[in-house]
Structure 1
């Protein structure tokens, strides 16, 4: 999967949950790598699920935990 695309999708998802400026999205590289890994694993397990849905699930889980 294209890491740049996933990073952009994650950032956009964060902005949807907390509207504001892009600079308000504070996500360390380590946090992104963890999310990227989860997204990749979920996509491999469930190839028919839309990537958009997976990204939203992972970001939501990250925000509530």
Structure 2
């Protein structure tokens, strides 16, 4: 799966919670989220990618 696309989707998801000037995520956190999403998608291939991204981003922000 295209990592660049998933990164863009993560950043778009974060825009729901923050303005673009104050994103609370660095490159390292973005990579960690990307890896978690890819792992879940690998374990559950039929799962909806958008749901996985939304759940993972929400868990990141809540944690």
Q: TM-score, normalised to structure 1's length?
A: 0.87
Superposed, 1:1-65 pairs within 5 Å as 1-18=1-18, 20=19, 22-65=20-63
> Deviating runs (4+, > 4 A) in structure 1?
none
C-alpha RMSD over aligned residues? 1.1
Gapped regions of structure 1 (runs ≥ 5): none
| CA displacement at 1:3 relative to structure 2 | 1.4
Deviation string for 1:22-47 (max 9, x for gaps)? 22213111101110110000000101
The count of residues paired between Structure 1 and Structure 2 equals 63
Gapped regions of structure 2 (runs ≥ 5): none
